[in-house]
Chains A and B, each alone.
Chain A
């Protein structure tokens, strides 16, 4: 089975610090990493391929040329093939235009059984590209998947987390799932994998390589527009209690009784 894993390169927010004076992000020297949720998506793709004993895992991304580094990392972890959709015309895309561009990349890759995405990207936090991609490819999907119960060429059964438990959903192939972090424990790259990734060819496709309607790409193809960006008020006047544990507990208990 052909498995496609969608990856996004994001700034490593574990390194992002807030400037306490200006309340803005300090991004100097921040590294780019593979979106953490996508690491679980890749791991799940590799495990499914291994359990089926056949097939291929292709990692697919859209972004500027430097995303190649992230794709190489995915190859070192065991992905068989890496494709980057990169073109100035793709820039400024919202989730709809991103999903459209990815769907055209998927179309060019040919027949597939399963697409796996992370639950959401940690920079935009929208969680929209996965389901939007499924709709644009006209295939079923399940979001928030915490476990794959079974999978074969015809269908798969997954557990989807809900607010009060989970749902067991059966999906006919081809299909798309978005995964949570408790679905698996991603592996580390092997030395062999690293060497292979170093030499591997990463395919880069621009708009000329894809069968696309140009007006649906990038900024022009995005129905939504950002009109303003601002930093939220963060610093609060924190009232610090003083005294012994008992004294502080007394004041706090009174406060709590007021709130509840």
Chain B
């Protein structure tokens, strides 16, 4: 396998590397490490080897094309700027300052002049504004074409999008059109002081490993960024900046939005919630979720659930948190009757404060919790509600 080389003279066949490999791509054959086809060249084995027997050759990539500026995609829905945009502006400002470059915001929509000025107050030096009634609602083909054309004209160095439903659909479409790399769902961003490249850190395997990824020779370096991970920018109305008008692209559309439906009953915007009260198998029955609703209401939060609870039909799928549901990072996460299966932890372990209530002291949820109560949910929550009412 190109890239990862094992020095057979140094290899002792100790299998430390095979145990560390997140992809199961190392076999020990006749007391020597053999790299198999599953290898993704991540380099975890290089660090794992105590005998310096493994090296990674990084392909010499050509130099990156000229580019400048850190851009933030300012997602809007029905004229409302998505909350993640303010977090991107906060983080983007830091990246732009450390590179000594401008921070740009890209805003597509209809009648968005005022919102554009507001983005300047939140830290943008330039706002690329495409103001056209056709852009009132998000549309994959239309937006991807407009954003790709703008990139082709302006050559930004970095482009950040929120890892939202829209960002995770638009991002890959644009990166494919432009022919550059895209890192999904980042939770850490930094500039490499040695070469100025964007270091993009993201969880993989449901958060069990973290990978730092770079895009050496293609521009822009694109990343979608997980909401609620970075601090929002502060608003400073005295800031000044420039609004640059962008022309609508010529494009033949093959898809159309028929309607946008907001579901009142199902309106569980878990990703935006500051407080989530979640229930699992330990709740035993559908009716017990009422108790969680009460607690959520008292704390100004919303109700989440594990896959087990959703699969049991106690609560609907939009509430599901975890690998096959939503990924959340609220300020406060209260896990009630949740054992903490790895798939559930994947969706909530980046919460700021985690409180776990569970009867079983060995439940894995206590490994990620900041505060634990070993006890019966049906005793603790009513007592807690009584306390909160006081």
Residues of chain A whose beta carbon lies under 8 Å from any beta carbon of chain B: 11, 13-14, 16-18, 20, 24-28, 30, 36-37, 64-65, 88, 91-92, 94-96, 99, 122-132, 134-136, 139-144, 157, 160-172, 175, 180-182, 219-220, 222-232, 234-241, 245-246, 248-250, 252-253, 255-257, 259-260
Cα A235 to Cα B349 in complex, Å, equals: 11
| Stretch from B100-108, B127-135, B214-222, B238-246 contacting the other chain | B214-222
**In the complex, which residues 15-54 of chain B have their Cβ closer than 8 Å to any Cβ of chain A?**
19-24, 36-44
Does the CB pair A162–B165 fall under 8 Å?
A: yes
The smallest C-beta distance from A34 to any residue of chain B, in angstroms, reads: 14
Q: Which residues 150-191 of B have a CB within 8 angstroms of A?
A: 164-165, 168-173, 175-177, 179-185
Given contacts A143-B169, A232-B207, A260-B299, contact A245 B375 (CB under 8 A): yes
B284 within 8 A of A: no
Residues of A within 8 A of B2 (CB): 92, 219
A175 with B172: CB separation less than 8 A: no
Contacting residue for B373 out of A88, A95, A139, A252, CB 8 A: A252
What is the CB-to-nearest-CB distance from B24 to chain A, in angstroms, rounded to a whole number?
Answer: 5
- What are some 17 contacts across the A-B interface (CB < 8 A)? A24-B19, A25-B208, A65-B37, A95-B172, A95-B184, A124-B184, A131-B170, A131-B171, A135-B173, A141-B169, A143-B165, A161-B165, A165-B260, A219-B59, A236-B370, A240-B371, A248-B373
**Is there a chain A Cβ closer than 8 Å to B212's Cβ?**
yes
Give bound CA distance, A7 to B177, whole Å: 23
CA distance A163 to B327 in the complex (A): 12
In the complex the two chains form, what is the Cα distance from A257 to B41 in whole Å? 47
Instruction: Find residues 232-260 in chain B having any chain A CB closer than 8 Å to their own CB.
Output: 253-260
Contact B372 A241 (CB under 8 A): yes
Q: Is B118 an interface residue (CB 8 A)?
A: no
Q: Is the interface of B mostly helix, strand, loop or mixed?
A: mixed
CB-defined contacts of A134 to chain B, threshold 8 Å: 173
**In the docked arrangement, what's the CA distance between A139 and B218, Å?**
24
Residues of chain B at the chain A interface (Cβ within 8 Å) = 1-3, 19-24, 36-44, 58-59, 77, 140-141, 144, 164-165, 168-173, 175-177, 179-185, 199, 203-218, 253-263, 266-267, 269, 271-272, 274-275, 299-300, 317-318, 323-324, 331-332, 342-343, 349, 353, 355-356, 366-376, 379-380, 383-384, 386-388, 390
Given the complex, which residues of B lie within 8 Å of A26, measured CB to CB? 19
Say whether A241 contacts B19, CB under 8 Å: no
Chain A residues whose C-beta falls within 8 Å of the C-beta of B374 in the assembled complex? 240
Contact check, B43 vs A226: say whether CB atoms are below 8 A apart: yes
B180: chain A residues at CB < 8 Å are 96, 223
Chain A residues closer than 8 Å to B23, beta-carbon distance: 11
The residue that B342 contacts in the complex, of A13, A161, A236, A239, with Cβ under 8 A, is A13
Min distance, Cβ A212 to any Cβ of chain B, angstroms: 15
Contact of A96 among B181, B199, B269 (CB under 8 A): B181
CB-nearest residue of chain B to A128: B172
Q: Is the CB of A11 within 8 A of B176?
A: no
Chain B residues lying within 8 Å of A231, measured Cβ to Cβ, are: 208-210
